[in-house]
């Protein structure tokens, strides 16, 4: 029984892969089948992961005697008051908890890693022509995003230089995106050829 199911599964996988590619020609019902299959399974999988998380992180703590973990479970259940008409505002508290903790963790990282370390890293010794170009790039891009003063005269030149540095960054990204998207397509074509037995 199982190998019929896996065979059927492989064909469904090939159909969905080709259905997604049909999007390029025209958005058809074939694409909608792949799109809604994707949407539904990703939601189904997310719900199962959510349940696993509550079980592994919450329930297991309570079973080990940590009864204070009943509080986050209640807080989590409050999230579903969004579906009720009267008590909808209670859902704000679990969202606030996630947001507050998330912002605290995110911001301490942003200040230390993305603000201080990135500034300090702009001037690594030894000072070479390249590191000077990086320094000029960082300064001119920072000036480019400065809004309180009109960009005229010297400020205008530095800002334009910043815009040219950005263009190099965008070019590097565009070129590497060509490489990445093509590789994603290659990976899927290898899957199809292998499923059809044309590749080992």
Residue 16: CB partners within 8 Å, gap ≥ 6? Answer: 33, 34, 37, 38
Among 84, 110, 157, 196, binds other proteins (CB under 8 A): 110
Q: What is the footprint of other proteins within residues 17-76 (CB under 8 A)? A: 17, 20-21, 23-25, 27, 31-54, 56-58, 60-61, 68-69, 71-73, 75-76
Side-chain half-sphere of 69: how many Cα atoms within 13 Å? 13
Contact 15, 29 (CB under 8 A): no
Work out which of 4, 5, 67, 157 binds other proteins, going by CB under 8 A.
5
Q: At what angle do helices 92-109 and 70-78 cross, to 10 degrees?
A: 110
> Among 84, 116, 157, 196, which residue sits at the site for other proteins (rule: CB under 8 A)?
116
| Residues 85-104 close enough to bind other proteins by CB under 8 A | 89-90, 92-104
Cα(115)–Cα(133) distance, rounded to whole angstroms?
Answer: 20
Residue 39, helix vs strand vs coil: helix
- Among residues 104 and 157, whose Cβ is nearest to other proteins? 104
- By beta-carbon proximity to other proteins, the closer residue of 50 and 157 is 50
Distance from chain centroid for Cα 156: 35
Which of residues 70, 84, 135, 157 is near other proteins by CB under 8 A?
A: 135
Q: What is the Cα–Cα distance from 74 to 62, expressed in whole angstroms? A: 13
Rounded to the nearest whole angstrom, what is the least distance from the CB of residue 63 to other proteins in the complex?
9
Tokens 């064909």: give the residue: 11
- What binding mask, one character per residue, do residues 136-155 give for other proteins by CB under 8 A, x or -? xxxxxxxxxxxxxxxx----
46 vs 157, beta carbon nearer other proteins = 46
Q: Does 7 engage in binding with other proteins (CB under 8 A)?
A: no
Distance CA(90)–CA(69), nearest Å, equals 19
End-to-end CA distance of the chain: 25
Q: In the complex, what is the shortest distance from the CB of residue 154 to other proteins, in angstroms, rounded to a whole number? A: 14
Q: Which one of residues 65, 85, 153, 175 is an interface residue with other proteins (CB under 8 A)?
A: 175
Least distance (Å) between residue 65 CB and other proteins:
13
Under rule CB under 8 A, residue 84 binds other proteins:
no
């Amino acid at each position: 029984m199982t190998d019929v199911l896996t065979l059927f599964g492989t064909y469904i996988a090939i159909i969905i892969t080709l259905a997604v590619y049909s999007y390029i020609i025209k958005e058809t019902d074939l694409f909608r089948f792949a799109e809604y299959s994707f949407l539904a399974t990703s939601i189904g999988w997310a719900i199962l992961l959510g349940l696993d998380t509550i079980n592994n992180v919450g329930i297991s703590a309570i079973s080990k005697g940590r009864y204070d973990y009943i509080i986050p479970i209640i807080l989590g259940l409050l999230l579903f008051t969004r579906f009720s008409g009267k008590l909808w505002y209670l859902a704000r508290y679990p969202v606030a908890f996630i947001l507050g903790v998330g912002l605290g963790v995110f911001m301490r990282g942003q200040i230390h890693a993305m603000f201080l370390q990135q500034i300090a890293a702009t001037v690594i010794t030894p000072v070479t022509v390249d590191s000077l170009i990086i320094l000029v790039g960082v300064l001119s891009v920072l000036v480019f995003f400065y809004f309180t003063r009109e960009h005229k005269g010297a400020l205008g030149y530095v800002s334009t230089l910043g815009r040219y540095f950005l263009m190099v960054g965008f070019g590097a990204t565009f070129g590497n995106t060509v490489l990445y998207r093509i590789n994603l397509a290659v990976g899927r074509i290898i899957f199809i050829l292998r499923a059809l037995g044309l590749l080992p």
